Structure 1
Amino acid sequence: MLLTIRHHTSYRYAAPVQYSIQQLRMTPANGSAQMVRRWHIDTTGKLDVARDAYGNTLHTLVLTKPHTEIRLIVTGQVETTLLSGGRLNDGPGGIPLEHYTCPTALTESDPGIVELAHSVPALDTPSALIALAENIEAKVNYLSGVTAVTSTASQALALGNGVCQDHAHLMLACCRARGVPARYVSGYIDPGDAEHTASHAWVDVWLDNGWVSVDVTHAAFASGHYCRLAVARDYEAAAPVRGSRVGGKEEKMSVDVSVQALAEQ
């Protein structure tokens, strides 16, 4: 599958910003699930590139002159591979697996999450992960605008509504409640006829000495129509864009994402 991706983001400010810093995790890496054919980020200034602790490509943009707008234009093509049973053939990565069993502020457990985590007998097969994803989807309806990037798994469960980020955090919380390593994945999906946005989040769960990639929102393996950008313990460390600024007053953000899939001939 060949995915053509366009991701345009703009930030406009009511007053000049004196200083801003943006950290971007918006560059996919080559791996068993995908190969990057081309990728480009165009923005207002110079991007410095590095690797973060999880091995993600991290671009940093620092603007020190007054500005009232920042634009980020990401374009590229990624060739993806169908995964058998959602299994990635990549290794565990540079982070000890125990790191992915520790709760974070966004994935802390509570009695409701513990009950949900034990709604399947065991988390030891890919089919069990899909069953848990179905149970999460049944408890938390996909509805945008009711949660924020700071919302926790327990808050989304209590609300009964959320988005893909909330579904992913709930899956992480359930896996960690049972001592199973799991990590957050940010990226893109070709949504087809679905109403969900092309920016997406899902999880990798460590089973039988390998990662199994699960889209909780669709209760399916994340394969073929998915482009992976970054992994971490939760959204906080895998967010495509994070930043801070001095000045600017009110901020108005607009985002336009499109993903088009073409089957390989």
Structure 2
Amino acid sequence: MQLNIRHDTRYHYATPVQYSIQQLRLTPETNSAQHVRHWSIDAPGKLDATRDAYGNVLHTLVLNRPHDQIVFAVSGEVETVPLRDGWLSDGPGRIPIEHYTCATPLTEADDPIRALAHAQRTLKTPSDLLALAESISGRVRYMPGITMVTSTAAQALALGNGVCQDHAHLMLACCRQLGVPARYVSGYIDPGDVPHAASHAWVDVWLDGGPQGAGWVTVDVTHAVFASERYCRLAVARDFQPASPVRGSRIGGRDETLDVSVFVDVNGTPRNGSDSGLGNGMAASVGMAQQ
């Protein structure tokens, strides 16, 4: 499937920002699930490229002149392939697989999460993962505007409402409670006719017994399906924070307005996944010292 993607991010500040630094994980890579034909990022300054600890492409933008807005325009074309039962043929990655069994502040298990995890009893097959995803999406209804990027898995479960980021964090918490390695994935989805944004988050779970032995199975918890050819992968990490596509800090600016628009053109059919909030987990900003 050919995905033509456009992702625009605009920060606007009430007063001029004196200094800001932005980290962008907005560059997909070719892997067993996708082939990147071309990709570009338009930013208001020089982007320094490197890789983070997880192997994601990381661009850093530093602006040390007064500015009242920052705009990023990302576009590209990615060819995706179907995956059998969600299996990726890529290896474990840079990080030891045991790293993904450790809880984080966003994925710490409380008693309700432990009960949810142990109700599943076992996570040994891709169908077990879909069953857990169905349980999670049944307990936490998709509802933007209830949770924030700082909300934990436990808070989302208690509220009974959340977005794809919350579903992913709950899946991670349950898998890790059962000793199964799992990682967070950020990226894009062809939204089809559903109202969910084209920016998305899901999980990879490490299982034994795959086509080539142990490997990652990629699951969209929100829709309780394998994340196959309708998905474009951007970054992976233990949770949202180190996989956030846009994350920054600043000095000055006072109040901030963030607008995010994502468009996915699937084989000539445009899909609109606009979102002016943070519910899709695509951007976050922190004020260093409001002046």
Same fold (TM over 0.5): yes
Say whether the 8 Å CA contact 1:86–1:214 is kept in structure 2: yes
Number of the residue aligned with 1:239: 244
Instruction: Measure how far apart 1:152 and its partner are.
Output: 0.2
Q: Distance in 2 between matches of 1:144 and 1:70?
A: 25
Mapping 1:139-178, distance limit 5 Å: 139-178=139-178
Structure 1 vs Structure 2 CA RMSD? 0.7
In the alignment, what sits opposite 1:199? 199
Cα distance in 1 for partners of 2:28, 2:201 equals: 14
2:259 to 254, 260, 264: 254
Which residue does the alignment assign to 1:109?
109
Report 1:1-265 matches (<5 A): 1-208=1-208, 209-262=214-267
**Cα distance between partner residues in 1 of 2:51 and 2:122:** 35
TM-score of the superposition, structure 2-length normalised?
0.90
Higher RCO (CA < 8 A, seq sep 6+): 1
Kindly provide the amino acid, as one letter, of the partner of residue 176 in structure 2: R
Letter of the 1:115 partner, please give it. A
- What do residues 136-192 of structure 1 show as CA deviations (whole Å, max 9, x unaligned)? 011000000000000000000000000000000000000000000000000000000
What is the rounded CA distance, in whole Å, between the counterparts of 1:112 and 1:253 in structure 2? 34
Indicate the SS of the match to 1:122: coil
CA–CA separation in structure 2 for the residues paired with 1:225 and 1:215: 11
Any stretches of 5+ residues in structure 1 without a counterpart?
none
- The SS at the match of 1:249 is coil
2:158 and 2:107 map into 1 onto residues whose CA distance is 14
| Deviation by residue 1:94-142 (Cα, 9 ceiling, x = unmatched) | 1001100000000000110011112223100000000000000110000
**Residues 184, 233 of structure 1: 8 Å contact kept:** yes
- Give the total of aligned pairs: 263
- Provide structure 2 residue ranges, at least 5 long, that are not aligned to the other structure: 209-213, 269-291
Q: Give the counterpart letter for 1:201 in structure 2.
A: A
The Cα offsets for residues 9-30 of structure 1, whole Å up to 9 and x where unpaired, read as 1111111100000000000011
Give the Cα separation in 2 of the matches to 1:164 and 1:260: 21
Identical counterparts, % of pairs: 68
TM-score under structure 1 normalisation?
0.98
Which runs of 4 or more aligned residues in structure 1 lie more than 4 Å from their structure 2 counterparts after TM superposition?
A: none
The amino acid that maps onto 1:169 is H
Q: CA separation in 2, counterparts of 1:119 and 1:61?
A: 45
Deviation string 1:180-225 (CA, Å, 9 cap, x unpaired) is 0000000000000001000000000000110000000000000000
8 Å Cα contact 1:24-1:240 kept in structure 2: yes
